[in-house]
Structure 1
């Protein structure tokens, strides 16, 4: 689909992948690893791992004071669950710097030996062009997703417009 849109309608467009969507996919991988580790854990460690899903997925700055020691204990039990610095790749300003950060992250993930992380690295490599394009075009999809949400609300409130031009005017009015 991306190829068709780019070549037919916008041949000069560069496809940029937003950090939010990549991290969302990574969170699914981490959740799968956490479940596998919980199944494989010894009985004494299961109590620490059980109920740790949101603790692992939280951003460090959002951790509560009492959650920090639990996270540290959880990570000391199993290094496979360690939080990663995937988001820092998008903080690079330069394409070469971003490429190096991505290479470093992928190398660490591959060295972990975790099959789910290896598959995730393959996905990242397949879409590397869109990730690296973020260095040239540091945009995020949050505004676009907000506008899409507005359009959906307008469509729901109207129970469908029979006149496309009127619908377009309503969307333009909402986005001013």
Structure 2
């Protein structure tokens, strides 16, 4: 195994679009090329993004601990980020029960009522830009499982901090794909 030499510095962009049955995740690079486009940029990121993979393990052993077997029982993948730009489309994607009414001089976002749940899942692509070492892409399908909290302060910007929990994106149960481009690919 060759020693890792890549140092990831900086933040990136987040892209979001509603998942459809037609999406094919077999070629994840094609998914990135098709959906990580300006029209799908979700919001401007502030304070970066974090990706977390948490396995739940089960171990069994005999009474003398001579034989042990450990298996993965469950996995949770989350993608969290800070969003500094906000509009009705952002809120509509973050809150399953949100409904948006666009009027001439205002947009009204109504939130609540379990019967209003859309049940949508979203394709999310976080793009870490690095011209020297190559871009890194994190791809998940999921929905926001975090709270919606606004903080309006005199001397600070309002930042939303959604946490998207991944669902299986294919028949294998893949919850996250990470694409680490080589330096020459980032420059192209």
- Range of TM-score over shorter length: under 0.3
Structure richer in strand, relative to its length: 2
Structure richer in helix, relative to its length: 1
TM-score, normalisation: structure 1:
0.25
Which structure has the larger Rg? 1
TM-score, normalisation: structure 2:
0.24
